[in-house]
Amino acid sequence: MIGRRFGRLVVIERTNNTPAGAARWLCRCDCGAIHIAIGTSLRKRGTGSCGCFSREMHSRLMTKYPGKHKRTPKHPLLRIWQGIINRCNSSTHHSYKNYGGRGISLYPQWHDFSQFAEDITALIGSRPNDDFSLDRIDNDGNYEPGNLRWATDSQQFTNRKRRMPGISMGILSMGA
């Protein structure tokens, strides 16, 4: 991979794998920025820049249609991303105890929304329709590459944390 070009990115060297085991590569963008990208995302043409391309396209759109940006629809992943950020990072969020409070976090590169949107689309595709939402395959795992899928409510229901009414975890761990 070293020396190969993917869009505006040229691979410089291999870096640490993601917690899920996906290969990550240090790349230099044509704009001069350094960017870490996941190998599969590079090869499947999901990641092609450090995010500069998206910013340029947005800037061109605003130049072409000045004053119209307030009516431009938001990215379809924006609300999903904002929800993840809030559940994992804001201790005042009503679901924090089930996410950030349990140690669930967002993959560090995905704190940049444009990188999150680019990678999600490359890794699992666009949201099939409004009946699907983003689901962590391993309910105890983080929001990270290799642990996400589009799932229906019923799929998410069967993937949630198991709770047994009236039985505490202490009793289960004492052995029978």
Count structural domains, the chain: 2
Residues 79 and 154 in one domain: yes
Does 141 lie in the same domain as 82?
yes
Please state the rounded mean pLDDT for residues 155-175.
56
User: What are 66-106's pLDDT values in tens digits?
Assistant: 555 555 557 888 889 889 988 988 888 898 899 999 999 99
Q: How far apart are the first and last CA of the chain?
A: 53
What percent of the chain is predicted at pLDDT more than 90?
23
Q: What is the pTM of this model?
A: 0.53
Domain enclosing residue 129, as ranges: 74-158
For residue 102, being part of any structural domain is answered with yes
Q: Are residues 145 and 114 in the same domain?
A: yes
Determine the average pLDDT of the residues in 145-163.
82
Q: What is the rounded average pLDDT of the residues 39-67?
A: 75
| 31 lies in some domain | yes
Is 151 inside any structural domain? yes
78, 151: one domain: yes
DSSP letters, 76-119, are TTHHHHHHHHHHHH-TTSTTGGGTGGGT--B-GGGGSHHHHHHH
Q: Is residue 119 part of a domain?
A: yes
At 97-150, the pLDDT tens digits run 999 999 999 998 988 888 888 899 889 988 888 889 899 999 899 999 999 999
Q: How many CA atoms lie within 13 A of 97 on its CB side?
A: 1
Q: Please determine, for residue 175, whether its predicted confidence score (pLDDT) is greater than 50.
A: no
34 shares its domain with 100? no
- Whether 168 is in a domain gets the answer no
Whether pLDDT at 56 is above 60:
yes
